[in-house]
Amino acid sequence: MKKTITLFLGIFISTMAFAGQPSKWQVKEAEIFAADAKAQFNLSDADTEQVKNDRIEAMQAYSDGPGELRKEGKVEEAKALGQKINNKYMGKFQAITDCKPKEYWALVKGAKEKAKKK
């Protein structure tokens, strides 16, 4: 019984330590996204880091919100929340780069594809 409790506490504490932390995949995709944005829009190092952090936040927000709603079968609610998240982070990106939505989505798609290949 003592071993079971110890194991449970160990797993619980480990899980809590990583809660809210981006996955390796999210970090990799965000780094690719930021590097591509830097090259395309000639961003400063500070802006590149901000773009990377915003992209990680966007992916986490999407996973935690619409991703969970979809699992629960709440597709329409997931779409609406996903759109709000997308608009928020695209707006942040546009404030830094002054890009068009089409350019933003091309960068997102490109980063996803590159991340899959690596």
Collapse the DSSP code of 63 into the 3-class scheme (helix H, G, I; strand E, B; otherwise coil) and give the result: helix
Tell me how far CA of residue 91 lies from CA of 26, 66, 103, in angstroms: 20, 19, 13
**pLDDT digit string, tens, across residues 24-77:** 999 999 999 999 999 999 999 999 999 999 999 999 998 888 988 989 999 999
- Choice between 16 and 42, residue whose per-residue pLDDT is larger: 42
pLDDT at 13: 42
Note whether residue 12 is domain-resident. no
Rounded CA gap, 3 and 27, in Å? 35
Position 108 pLDDT exceeds 50: yes
In a domain, 44, yes or no: yes
Dist. CA 77–CA 83, nearest whole Å: 10
- C-alpha to C-alpha distance for 115 and 25, rounded to whole angstroms: 8
Q: Is residue 1 part of a domain?
A: no
Q: Residue 64 is part of which domain span? A: 22-117
Report how many domains make up the chain. Answer: 1
Give me the chain's average pLDDT, please. Answer: 86
